[in-house]
Amino acid sequence: MIFDKTLLLSDAQAVTADAASTNVIDLGATGTIYGATGAMTRDIGKGKPIPLLIQVVEDFDNLTTLEIKLQVDSVENFASPKQVATTGAIALADLVAGAIMNLEFIPRGADERYLRLYYDVTGTAPTAGKMTAGVTMGNQSNG
């Protein structure tokens, strides 16, 4: 897999409590077609799948489960985030270095300007555990 720094959401980000990804991807403002009354609409999840890689880079401890949510919003501070996908609850036993999460593509519904991940911790706050995540050129499957 190859990451582009501008499309990296988390870079070995320590997840010790509920938190948004360190970085937010700005998809840019949509333009207005000549003669149209309003800006174009977008949904980057339509068409050819855009690969997303979310990987544990340091074993987690303490927590019961971790859920990772893909969110979009029209403003960078995510005042009213819209969840477009989730990994579901991931058990502590599965949060070991090298583990790849099951959210592999940006889905339909990613139709606002800003994109981020949100890490939702359940149980005791972890003291260890790091994630790296972002858009890639393609993900290795060994298949």
The region of weakest confidence among 1-10, 58-67, 75-84 is: 1-10
Give the range among 7-11, 42-46, 76-80 with minimum mean pLDDT. 42-46
Helix/strand/coil percentages in the chain, nearest 5 = 0, 45, 55
Q: What is the rounded distance in angstroms from the CA atom of residue 140 to the CA atom of residue 11?
A: 18
Q: Tell me: domain 3-136, CATH 2.60.120.1110, correct?
A: yes
What confidence tier does 129 reach under pLDDT thresholds 50, 70, 90? very high
Domain extent listing, the chain: 3-136
Radius of gyration of the chain from its Cα atoms, rounded to whole angstroms? 16
Please, are residues 42 and 104 in contact by the beta-carbon 8 Å criterion? no
Would you say residue 138 has pLDDT above 80? no
Quick check: pTM over 0.75? yes
pLDDT tens readout for residues 40-53: 888 888 888 999 99
Between CA 60 and CA 2 the distance in angstroms is 24
